[in-house]
Amino acid sequence: MNAPFNQQTALITGASRGIGAAIAERFARLGMNVIIHYLNSHEAANDVARRCLSFGANAMTVAADLRSGEQIERMKEKLHNHGFVPNILVNNAGISHYGLLSDLSEAEWDQVMNVNLKSAFLCCKAFMPAMVAARYGRIINVSSVWGISGASCEVAYSAAKGGMNAFTKALAKELAPSGVTVNAVAPGAVETDMMASFNTEELAALQEEIPAGRLAQPDEIASLVYFLALPESGYINGQVISPNGGWIT
């Protein structure tokens, strides 16, 4: 490891709200360098950065369309110019899509795949060389329980997250000799904006299906990401871990 854990740099994509924001703040509590990526939510990202700064962390926001390798390279260059080289990459950016496959357009399919899966490929390609050179790094992909079990009316999202799980396992084998671990966290139902389309009755029915009897909080997912990022977690590699309250086993 080329720096003490509390002096490392974590880049979290899609960190302007929800799970991404909780992950950024979890790292910030140690005073780490925290890079908060966003696409359009400038003010929300700034709010997350202010909270991170209040913990004594160095926090920086950066905008990029992660569907574009060119924009990711510009983001990487901007970070380098500010003296930041991520030791920890959290591929959290994602979107969902609900609807029948027969109603899904090719453009909608591509959008879900590009935001959820292609972005992880492009970010890993951009930031893993420095980790390999340092012979240390942590890549953590935020997947979904639907990538494990599949979900009716969420075929594109399930396929993208299933692809992320396979991507995680394969890349972990590729990078393990270089001291870089790659793992995925596949949450169940989490109380975030992605659940906004559920009405009160639907949420109640969903919670009845979950043995824990409730949705997860973003902080609970962030704690698992934090654990996987620790130096002591170096023998955990290529795993897809699903915190879901016992819902899917």
The token pair that represents 87 in the structure block: 């030791």
End-to-end distance of the chain based on CA atoms, in angstroms?
A: 34
Question: Which one of the listed residues 38, 98, 136, 157 is annotated catalytic?
Answer: 157
Task: Give which of 34, 4, 3 is closest to 222, Cα–Cα.
Answer: 34
- Give dist(CA 26, CA 30) in Å, integer: 8
Q: DSSP states of 187-214 as a string?
A: --SBSSGGGTT--HHHHHHHHHHSTTSS
Asked if 38 is an active-site residue, the reply is: no
Active site residues: 157
